[in-house]
Amino acid sequence: ALGESAEARRMHEDTLARRRRVLGEDHPDTLVSFNSVAVILHSLRLYPEAVELLQDARARFLRVHGVHHPDTTQITRNLAASLRAMGRRHEAEQLMGRKASKGKRRFGRKRR
């Protein structure tokens, strides 16, 4: 399985590099590739690399899509998961807390 993950990493990193070069850093397809590579890095337990990529990708997602877009929510969750895996629970909770409070402002409180 590790060999397959390493091969998947190589393939996704190649795709990301091509998309960055051809489509640009902030193109929606390039942003999806950022997330794909980060998910593989997380699965390989390369958390610092995943966090670095996810932080960059999240900033791009926020700029391109805004805070309420489903892809921005997903990348934020992935970043929080990698932070937690590194033992940075407080940062992960703050990240998700800020996201949750922004969602509450937009959609209101949950009904019972």
Supply 66's token pair.
């805004």
Domain count, the chain: 1
Residue 110 inside a domain? The answer is no
Q: What integer pLDDT is reported at residue 11 of this predicted model?
A: 96
Give residue 39's domain range: 2-105
Closest CA to 77 of 109, 38, 46: 38
Q: What local confidence, expressed as pLDDT, does residue 1 receive?
A: 58
Q: What is the pLDDT of residue 58?
A: 95
Q: How far apart are CA 89 and CA 53, in angstroms?
A: 18
Using CA atoms of 101, 106, 109, 112 in order, give the dihedral in degrees to the nearest 10: -130
Tokens of 100: 């949750």
Query: CATH code at 54?
Result: 1.25.40.10
Q: Give me the mean pLDDT over the 36-42 stretch.
A: 95
pLDDT for residue 106: 44
pLDDT for res 2? 63
Among 94, 89, 35, residue whose Cα is nearest residue 59: 35
Give this prediction's pTM. 0.79
